[in-house]
Amino acid sequence: MEKYIGRKIHHQPLFTSHNSQLTATTRTVMETSSQSPASKRPKLSTEATYDEVTLQKWQQGYTSSSNNDQTRLPLIDLRSKDAHAKNHLNDASSTIVHLPFDDLLSGERSCELPPRHVEFAIIIPADLDRNQVEDFFFATCSKATSQSRKPWLVRQVVQETNAVWEDATSLEMLSSGDDAHILPLPRLWKPDQMVEKILFPLLKQKLHVEKDDFVVWDLGSGAGRDVSFLAEELKHQTQLENSSRKVKIVGFDNHKGSSRRSLPLWKNRMVGDVTESRLLNLKNIILLEEGIREENGLACVYAIRYLNRRMIDYIATDAPLKSGCLFAMSHFCKEAGAEWNWDHPKVRNCRVMYSYFSI
Ligand SMILES: C[S@@+](CC[C@H](N)C(=O)[O-])C[C@H]1O[C@@H](n2cnc3c(N)ncnc32)[C@H](O)[C@@H]1O
């Protein structure tokens, strides 16, 4: 295995052909090359070091410098939709997610990338310029907002070559066609922990027991990840039970950007048919009440990191919710008198624990 230590300036194009004899080569990303002058490339992180690996090497795992554990990294396939339909990797014991690089560049699917502290691997399409990929993952400044940002932790790179598909065949990981209809799809992001660990099991149980339409509202849904998570998992439940019941998860927000971000996410996650985005100022209790009255089968209303005291008091007291409708909320909180050592959110936005227990 070839190792480069420290920051290295390459004097040759970074995009080199795959050498199947090598199991891994460590690369440190440069800011200058004979192909693209430094002035045209964004500033890249000094942490931008990754191993160039074969498929076998990725499958064997990666030893993280932070904890010395050997684990198989989640793998992102950056190839186009057409290339993916022809052939792709499929392995039930790994997390392999297809996110076409063009959709990341356009921003349409960047919210599906893992958090920036999670290490992962990528497959680079044969026809893609490596510099572009490095600029995207390792830039220290956002192109859109010019604000500084942490680079993503790409730790292994598999360069697509014929050898990759030969390896995939011998490792019995080769698949073709569209298997994306099998829900829930693997994901690299996490929903809110209360939604995943408490609300979803309750909803699953409720879905199983009740026979009516099943509607869930997310109040202040933002980018729509929690909606997506519940829609994927609940749709999966109805598929398992071979049920024709109508399940719908609705995201409410007063920001137009919410539906702009949520709708592509839900479509790409195969839940466009069971989700809906509604633009509403939730401070307007009259409109909220009208919405509740018009909705048949409202099984649950929840709010994550959106605290609107009037709305919560109204839901707890006067809202015309049917008996058995669940209400859940999750917000930053701490015990009374405890210190708050985080920069975000500010302590003034943090609730004191138990303050809502009496509603
Ligand atoms: C901190 S974000 C939380 C988003 C999402 N629930 C999450 O946990 O990622 C709060 C969301 O509430 C929305 N919001 C704020 N005031 C609102 C209002 N009056 N009516 C509807 N939505 C509102 C914001 O646009 C934003 O998307």
pLDDT tens column, 288-301: 999 999 999 999 99
As a whole number of angstroms, the distance between CA 24 and CA 4 comes to 11
Whether residue 306 has its Cβ less than 6 Å from ligand 1: yes
Work out the angle at residue 195's Cα, subtended by the Cα atoms of residues 192 and 199, and round it to the nearest 5 degrees: 165
26: helix, strand or coil: strand
273: domain CATH number?
3.40.50.150
Position 332 confidence tier, pLDDT thresholds 50, 70, 90: confident
Probe ligand 1: pick from 254, 277, 288, 311, max atoms within 8 Å of CB? 254
55: domain CATH number?
3.40.250.10
3 falls within a domain: no
Element (H, E) at 207: helix 200-209
As a whole number of angstroms, the distance between CA 252 and CA 106 comes to 25
Claim to verify: residue 236 and residue 271 sit in the same structural domain: yes
Claim to verify: residue 246 and residue 150 sit in the same structural domain: no
Mean per-residue pLDDT, 74-84: 96
As a whole number of angstroms, the distance between CA 129 and CA 152 comes to 18
- Kindly report, residue by residue over 99-117, the tens digit of the pLDDT: 999 999 999 999 999 998 8
The domain of 221 spans 193-352
pLDDT of residue 18: 37
Whether residue 222 has its Cβ less than 6 Å from ligand 1: yes
Whether residue 302 has its Cβ less than 6 Å from ligand 1: no
Check pLDDT > 70 for residue 78: yes
Position 58 confidence tier, pLDDT thresholds 50, 70, 90: very high
182 falls within a domain: no
Whole-model pTM above 0.85?
no
Claim to verify: residue 162 and residue 221 sit in the same structural domain: no
Whether residue 184 has its Cβ less than 6 Å from ligand 1: no
Atom of ligand 1 at shortest range from CA of 283: 19
Claim to verify: residue 105 and residue 234 sit in the same structural domain: no
Probe ligand 1: pick from 195, 306, 307, 329, max atoms within 8 Å of CB? 306
- Kindly report, residue by residue over 10-43, the tens digit of the pLDDT: 323 333 333 334 455 676 665 444 444 545 677 7
Query: If you take atom 14 of ligand 1, which residue's CA is the nearest one?
Result: 220
As a whole number of angstroms, the distance between CA 107 and CA 86 comes to 25
